[in-house]
Amino acid sequence: MKKIYKIFLLLILLISISQCQKKSDKIIAEVNGEKLYETEFRTLFTKSEWQNTSQEEKNEIIKNWVEITLLAKEAEKRGLGANPEVKSNIKYSRKTILANKILTNELKKIDATEAEIFKYYNLNRHLYMKKITSYKIQKFVVANWAIADSAIKLFNENEVFYTVAKNLGRNYVVKTVEKNDVSSALWTQLSRMKRWNIRIVNDNNKLIIVQLLDVKSEEKPLAFQAIKDSLRIVLMSKKREQFLENTLDSLKIKYKAKYQIQGEK
């Protein structure tokens, strides 16, 4: 529906300016002497829109221009142009086109610097929180499954984890890890373990013995770099809304606007 409405406005704009082209310009459509020039047609698109619009879509707009021009001329011939409702609609359409044009010109000047985006991020960190789970573990590497099984037997006999690690393994460590700190295999095992559980895990072709010591879940803000692009979109939208509000307030004073909200009778 939005695409149809956009095409409709484009066609209105085409019809409204079709009398202002140079005679040397290329004519791409004509109805009873009323010409559609290539230059005026191109002004309906930004450079990127022109490049990204297929020739089929452009031809469809030209075809629509011809069809609407034909119908409009017949309507004029029948005197419908003098109809008060039609006149009012034409007047409103012209205002809509002019309003859209000035908004497009002004809004494209608005930008958001990285400093502004970072400031917005700092002021609104609470809106961009993520639940982070971390595990405190102790672990060590063993040479093979036989040693791993021996370690488990010792744990079942209440042997101290550090002592077993010292006697049967290597690379003993105690640390707190988050999801991005470890392999998916180890993280999957940790997420299934309860506190004090011990597991043998094949971690990137290394056999490790790991014990879960503690689990913590807390809210942390998402990293700025990870969401910078989406923050820019949000901030640009807010800046445009604020600009529009300020502009309209100023114009209401400048042109002494007055209106009354009409209620149901």
If you count them, how many residues does the chain have? 265
254 within a domain of the structure (yes/no): no
φ, ψ of residue 68 in degrees (nearest 5): -70, -40
Question: Would you say the pTM of this structure is higher than 0.75?
Answer: no
Domain count, the chain: 3
265 within a domain of the structure (yes/no): no
Query: Can you give the residue range of the structural domain that contains 26?
Result: 2-107
264 within a domain of the structure (yes/no): no
CB atoms within 10 A of CB 71: 10
Q: How far is CA 241 from CA 107, 119, 124, 150, 227, in A?
A: 10, 18, 18, 68, 21
Residues 6+ apart with CB under 8 A from 212: 135, 136, 137, 190, 193, 194, 195, 196, 197
CB atoms within 10 A of CB 140: 21
257 within a domain of the structure (yes/no): no
φ, ψ of residue 111 in degrees (nearest 5): -140, 170
Structure tokens of 228?
A: 């910078």
Residue labelled with tokens 């075809």: 63
Pair 68, 181 in one domain? no
Residues 6+ apart with CB under 8 A from 239: 110, 112
Residues 6+ apart with CB under 8 A from 17: 40, 43
CA-CA distance, 128 to 78, in Å (whole number)?
Answer: 61
82 within a domain of the structure (yes/no): yes
Question: Given this model, what pLDDT does residue 44 score?
Answer: 81
Q: Where are the alpha helices (DSSP H) in 18-138?
A: 38-42, 47-52, 55-77, 84-107, 114-123
Pair 121, 241 in one domain? yes
Pair 101, 26 in one domain? yes
Pair 120, 161 in one domain? no
Pair 153, 233 in one domain? no
φ, ψ of residue 132 in degrees (nearest 5): -115, 125
Pair 58, 98 in one domain? yes
Pair 118, 140 in one domain? no
255 within a domain of the structure (yes/no): no
92 within a domain of the structure (yes/no): yes
Pair 21, 102 in one domain? yes
**pLDDT one digit per residue (tens) for the chain, 265 residues:** 444 445 555 555 555 555 455 555 899 999 999 999 998 888 888 888 899 999 999 999 999 999 999 999 999 999 999 999 999 999 999 999 999 989 988 998 999 999 999 999 999 999 999 999 999 999 999 999 999 999 999 999 999 999 999 999 999 999 999 998 999 999 999 999 999 999 999 998 899 999 999 999 999 899 999 999 999 999 999 999 999 999 999 999 999 998 887 665 5
